Structure 1
Amino acid sequence: MFRTASRRTSAYVPNLFQPQRQSLTRSICSNHTRPTLHPRYRNAKPPINSLSISRARHLSFAQRVRLSFRDASKGIWRKNPVLLPLAILSAAGATAVFAYISYVELTRVGPQYHKFPPPVADSLRTAVYYTEIDLNPPKALQAYKEALRIAVEMGMHPFSDEVLGIKLQVALMLEKAGLMKPAIEVLERSKNEALSWVDEGRKMETAAAGKLQQTKVPAQAKVAPENVQINQDALQDTKKELKALEEFEARQRDKALKKVVGMQMKLAELYSSEYIQEDKKAEAAQVAAVELCLKEMHRRQKLGLPVGGGSSTSSGDGSEGESWLNLTEIATALAELASTYTARERHELAMPLYLRALDMIRVAEGESPTCKQVVLLNDVASAMAGQAQRPASRAQPQQPVSREQTVDAARQWAQKAIDVAARIQPPVRDEECDLSCVAATYNLGELAELQDKPGVARQRYIEAKSLAKGMGFDEGVALADAALKRLPKI
């Protein structure tokens, strides 16, 4: 019995040891759904989690800088409530100023010098600084001379727009400094040099054209066939180069002549200024400018060239304008000379110039009139009215048109100016049109006085006063009031 019990006990021994061995490694609790892992030995090290790894990892340079900046920025507004906003505003203002300076340099200043080589542009920048920013005539003149010297050394054309523009800038600088006589000397010398070069060039062009017509190639020239092709190709290339050079020189002459006309007009302005007051020389300069324009127009008509404008000065897109004066610019020169004659009461000389200028403006503007026509129409009326008001002793002994006819023609021209101005609408219509309407209405009042029509004259003066008051033209209001006082009371 005891033996049987001992066998049973020994039979169950392995079964008892096996669960105990497994329990050392893993035990499953009945009250949990997932198994729980237990360490085999009690002295095992605890597992290393991600937090300890991140704490042991080294920071990069950018992270250290960011952390330092974050630590430094804590409380900065509280510690610097005034200085920090001022620093931010100063930095923003400096950035804005720098951006504006860069914008002006790229859009306004830079394009003025892109036609010049860099050494010339550097000297010009210095000269312009001593002209526009810190006026210093000696330093500016020295810089301009240096720019001209470098331009000639670098092969720039001595009568190109760029070189002549430098000379004109010298005259402008001297005028700005109040040195009128040196400015006149610079303009006179530049004008004479350009005119001499243009005349010599055109004489050579005419002589070359005559020689070309007289030159004849012998008909019975014995040349090898293989040499014929070579000579013909070389001849064609030479002809193309010569033709291109001739066209370039012709454009340069046209542009130089255009500059000369502007120099003449500027000389007239300087001679008539209060510093010089030489009206005869001013008139002579204006006459020379008009004669040069008319002479060039006749030459172009004879050669079949465009009377106004001409070929483009640029080789590609034509963005640099025209090589010769257009019709509007020629009309402006004629009108300025006519205004000089009108101011000196030489209306018989002013009227043909006004009429010629008006014809040019009409051709240039076509079916779209501008205020220039209104101004010229009123100028014609004023010249005719002045001619009609001249005393009999100063009038010519035999006039083809009577005084009454002149007054009536002047009235028609003044009314025409008002009618044309009524057809012009904004934005083409500007203050020039309104001033011309006031002047034309006032002229109609004066013409009505000459025709012994005080009622019509009073109506016109009141209308002119109303127009002048509406646009704030005080001088027109004063003239209208004086004219109304002059009329007999009804």
Structure 2
Amino acid sequence: MPPLPLSLAAHRLMASLRPLHLGRPFRPSSLSYTLATRFPLVKRNSSSIPPRPSSTPPLPPPPPPLPPQKMTKTQFLRKLFIVSLQNLALSLTPRGFRAAFRDSPVGMTFTSIVLGFAAIVCTFAIYEYRRVFYRADLNIYPKEVADLLRRAIHHTIINPKPELALRYYNEAMVKCSELGFDSSSDQMLYIRVQVASWLEHNINNYRKAAEVLELIKADCVKFVSVINRAIQEGKVDDEGMYRPDVAEGEAGGTPKVTPPESETIWRKRQRLLSLAVGVSAKLGELYADEHVLDFDNSQASLIWAVETSLAELQRRQKEGGRRPGEEEWLEPEKLGVLMESLGRSYEEKGQYELCIPLFLYALRLCMDPCQRAVIMNNMAVAFAQQSQVPTGVQAATVVEAAAAMPTTREGNLEAAHNWATNAQKHGGEVKGEARTVVCDRACAAALCTLGDVAVMMGKPELARARFREGREMSLKLDFDQGVRQAEEGLARLKSKSSEA
């Protein structure tokens, strides 16, 4: 009869009946300890007894390590760049900053300062780059023309090469013509004005710059005269556009490139006339420069600018309103600047009876308090230098002001003293952000003018005091012209006292 299978309970019972020494080590007896020490057993793995053969074969030795793969220069640089970026990103974390500051506080502080300074320099460089090469006046051109102008500016400012700059300016004008821009458009005229500015400031060829500006002025005047003739002949409708029966390009060459917003004939006339007036004023300044000293052409240019501006104002007042597309004519301040420039031109040529009315007109239009003090001082100088019996020639713009002018030498000196005192007073009253270095220099110049007037009045002590005050103030302001004028006045007083 076969044995019956044991149940789980039987297995547990039999396991509990096993000797306890089979499951854990036991302490040997003294007899077994003595036998073991006298007759030691031989190790199974000794050389006398061969080892039992293993059932599993031994593992093969590991293969030798592969040699490192050689990297190309490009791969090395790429890996170096990636690792550098990773290290930089790790160091820019708050944890990286704290660890670096703990390791080297002084070095980390110095590094932070250098990085901050480098960030400021880079930001300023990017701003200047955008300001110079991507300014708003280049946005009126297509990309190919704007790129040529940027190259010209690069060879003007960054890497000065006059030949390349002039070549790129010429290529830009040729490209504008190929794209269909008219010679009276802002795009073409701006390039020509830019060339004149380049000749003046970068090449220092003032006469050549004046020639370019004269050509621009002549072209603008020609375009305006053609438009005026078309208006008189009735070729312009009430909306300020050419009538359909007028041939294209008949009235001064209408632009072949249509602007986004259609420009009326009146708007085009005002744009060209404003540019002609501005160029003429610039010519007056350029001819009076110390490198040219052509006062006749300077005065003629300023007279044309003032007369043209006043004639346009009278036309608008007579017609009683603006025409389609017309905007406000010259701002009062700009007209005042023209008057002041023409007045200084008359003053330099000794025609004081003509410059005084212009200074009065400019003073009435000027809104800058510091510039008003300058004009008042110019008035004082003009009255002080005016001859005792003025000529009958007066400025046609302000005849009513000429009637109130003094007619004697004493009256002129009294007027000069009053205007110089007003210049010093008004220049000193300007406070806050409105006060600039112009106010301070106007006050210093007024003190010197008061000294000159006191000399003419026969008051040497008062003149000496004013000259000293003007010299001290000019020295504080680094105003060389004021220092020179005060020292010349003191030298004249010293020579007169020694002669007496």
Q: TM-score, normalised by structure 2?
A: 0.63
Query: Which residue number corresponds to residue 171 of structure 1?
Result: 196
How many angstroms does 1:484 deviate by? 4.4
Q: Distance in 2 between matches of 1:69 and 1:377?
A: 70
Kept in 2, the 8 Å contact 1:465–1:480? The answer is no
Q: Which amino acid aligns with 2:311?
A: K
Q: Distance in 1 between matches of 2:309 and 2:369?
A: 23
Given the alignment of the two structures, is residue 191 of structure 1 paired with residue 217 of structure 2, yes or no?
yes
Given the alignment of the two structures, is residue 110 of structure 1 paired with residue 134 of structure 2, yes or no?
yes
Equivalent of 1:337 in 300, 321, 342: 342
Gaps of 5+ in 2: 1-5, 21-78, 88-107, 240-257, 394-404
Q: Distance in 2 between matches of 1:90 and 1:290?
A: 55
Kept in 2, the 8 Å contact 1:347–1:386? The answer is yes
Q: For 1:296-375, what aligned pairs fall within 5 Å after superposition?
A: 296-305=312-321, 311=327, 324-361=329-366, 365=367, 369-375=368-374
Over the aligned positions, Cα root-mean-square deviation in angstroms equals 4.3
How many angstroms does 1:118 deviate by? 0.4
Query: Which residue number corresponds to residue 435 of structure 1?
Result: 441
Kept in 2, the 8 Å contact 1:458–1:487? The answer is no
1:412-468 Cα offsets, whole Å, 9 max, x none, are 211221221232113211121122112222222322333333443344333323333
Q: Distance in 2 between matches of 1:328 and 1:396?
A: 29
Distance 1:427 1:195, change over 3 A: same
How many angstroms does 1:340 deviate by? 1.8
Q: Distance in 2 between matches of 1:119 and 1:295?
A: 40
How many angstroms does 1:480 deviate by? 4.5
Gaps of 5+ in 1: 1-12, 28-64, 74-84, 214-240, 312-322
| 401-410 or 150-159, which deviates more | 150-159
Q: Distance in 2 between matches of 1:173 and 1:467?
A: 37
Q: Which amino acid aligns with 1:481?
A: L
Kept in 2, the 8 Å contact 1:454–1:487? The answer is no
Q: Distance in 2 between matches of 1:275 and 1:14?
A: 126
Query: Which residue number corresponds to residue 123 of structure 1?
Result: 148
Q: Distance in 2 between matches of 1:251 and 1:139?
A: 36
How many angstroms does 1:21 deviate by? 5.6
How many angstroms does 1:121 deviate by? 0.3
Query: Which residue number corresponds to residue 28 of structure 2?
Result: none
Kept in 1, the 8 Å contact 2:221–2:273? The answer is yes
Distance 1:16 1:211, change over 3 A: closer
Distance 1:483 1:303, change over 3 A: farther
Q: For 1:213-252, what aligned pairs fall within 5 Å after superposition?
A: 245=262, 248-252=264-268
Query: Which residue number corresponds to residue 303 of structure 2?
Result: 287
Q: Which amino acid aligns with 1:429?
A: R
Given the alignment of the two structures, is residue 377 of structure 1 paired with residue 376 of structure 2, yes or no?
yes
Equivalent of 2:12 in 3, 9, 19: 19
Could you say what secondary structure the match of 1:208 adopts? Answer: coil
Given the alignment of the two structures, is residue 142 of structure 1 paired with residue 167 of structure 2, yes or no?
yes
Q: Distance in 2 between matches of 1:469 and 1:329?
A: 32
Query: Which residue number corresponds to residue 401 of structure 1?
Result: 407
Kept in 2, the 8 Å contact 1:127–1:144? The answer is yes
Query: Which residue number corresponds to residue 422 of structure 1?
Result: 428
Q: Distance in 2 between matches of 1:255 and 1:351?
A: 31
Q: Distance in 2 between matches of 1:197 and 1:358?
A: 33
Q: TM-score, normalised by structure 1?
A: 0.64
Q: Which amino acid aligns with 1:447?
A: V
Given the alignment of the two structures, is residue 460 of structure 1 paired with residue 466 of structure 2, yes or no?
yes
How many angstroms does 1:180 deviate by? 4.0
Distance 1:439 1:181, change over 3 A: closer
Query: Which residue number corresponds to residue 133 of structure 1?
Result: 158
Distance 1:403 1:139, change over 3 A: same
Q: Distance in 2 between matches of 1:277 and 1:386?
A: 22
Could you say what secondary structure the match of 2:234 adopts? Answer: helix
Given the alignment of the two structures, is residue 482 of structure 1 paired with residue 487 of structure 2, yes or no?
no
Q: Distance in 2 between matches of 1:433 and 1:386?
A: 23
Q: Distance in 2 between matches of 1:481 and 1:401?
A: 29
Kept in 2, the 8 Å contact 1:441–1:460? The answer is yes
Q: Which amino acid aligns with 1:279?
A: F
Q: Which amino acid aligns with 2:209?
A: A
Query: Which residue number corresponds to residue 258 of structure 1?
Result: 274
Could you say what secondary structure the match of 2:432 adopts? Answer: coil
Kept in 1, the 8 Å contact 2:451–2:466? The answer is yes
Q: Distance in 2 between matches of 1:100 and 1:488?
A: 58
1:311-357 Cα offsets, whole Å, 9 max, x none, are 3xxxxxxxxxxx74322122112211211221221111111111111
Kept in 1, the 8 Å contact 2:169–2:195? The answer is yes
How many angstroms does 1:252 deviate by? 2.9
Query: Which residue number corresponds to residue 57 of structure 1?
Result: none
From the two aligned structures, give the one with the greater helix fraction.
Answer: 1
Q: Which amino acid aligns with 1:479?
A: E
How many angstroms does 1:128 deviate by? 1.6
